[in-house]
Amino acid sequence: MYFDLIKDIFLENEVAFLRPIEEADFDNLLTIALKDKDLLQFSPRPIHSEELLRKYIDRAVQLRRLKSRYTFIVWDKTKKLYAGSSSFLNISEGDDRLEIGATWYGTEFQRTGLNRNCKFLMLEYAFEVLNVVRVEFKTDERNLASRTAIEKIGGKFEGILRHHTLMFDGFRRNTVCYNILKSEWEDLKNSILIQK
């Protein structure tokens, strides 16, 4: 696998458009970030203030430059609004694997099918363009909505890493791990978008 993190990647279908996040996207995401303080309650990095959102975006841009993470901003084509963000992270070229995560959407975009479409596009790119062998997903053990979403797209439960991640409030979360293998992709790809 070779992942050119400098290259601009655009992923699109009839529901979602993903493009690389940039500093100028602060204004595109600010309303979502300020609207719900608990939006990223299960994330190690909250975004519920101007300062926190600025740090989040600056860090995402910097990590892309450092070639360790590729963060997208997500446009909902049905609502014609920016909806949130998702990333390729924990990229390991030598092992032909990466993680899809750090995903968040405003509440009005949740449970609308947008996330499923974004994950489909990202999985398709990972397996069919980057030729990865394994895609990983990790989430807070308490985040039942995220766990359900991962399982609905075919993520296989692998286990729980106890006291794995230190949260912004000092809590040590247990992290639930899932994966999808390239050998499973052909069977999954036709079912992901038709689920309710």
The residue type found at 114 is L
Going by pLDDT thresholds of 50, 70 and 90, the confidence category of residue 46 is: confident
> What's the pTM?
0.94
Q: For the chain, which domains are there?
A: 11-134 (3.40.630.30)
Distance between CA 179 and CA 154 in Å, rounded? Answer: 8
Percent of the chain with pLDDT over 90: 81
Going by pLDDT thresholds of 50, 70 and 90, the confidence category of residue 120 is: very high
Q: Hey, is 136 helix, strand or coil?
A: strand
Percent of the chain with pLDDT over 70: 96
Task: State in Å, rounded, how far the first CA of the chain is from the last one.
Answer: 33
Residue with tokens 């996040």: 21
User: What is the DSSP code (8-state) at residue 143?
Assistant: -
Backbone phi, psi, residue 154, to 5°: 105, 10
Going by pLDDT thresholds of 50, 70 and 90, the confidence category of residue 194 is: low
Distance between CA 166 and CA 173 in Å, rounded? Answer: 6
Of 52-61, 64-73, 147-156, 160-169, the least confident: 160-169
Distance between CA 43 and CA 30 in Å, rounded? Answer: 17
Per DSSP bridges, beta strands 134-140 and 97-105 are parallel
Distance between CA 141 and CA 42 in Å, rounded? Answer: 9
Nearest alpha carbon to residue 67 among 125, 17, 6: 6
Burial 8-32 (b: 16+ CB within 10 A, else e): ebebeeebbbbebbeeebbebbbeb
Count the neighbouring beta carbons within 10 Å of the beta carbon of residue 145: 12
User: What is the DSSP code (8-state) at residue 131?
Assistant: -
Q: What value does the mean pLDDT of the chain take?
A: 92
Is residue 97 within 8 Å of residue 59, measured between CB atoms? no
Report the pLDDT value the prediction gives residue 196, as an integer from 0 to 100.
45
Going by pLDDT thresholds of 50, 70 and 90, the confidence category of residue 39 is: low
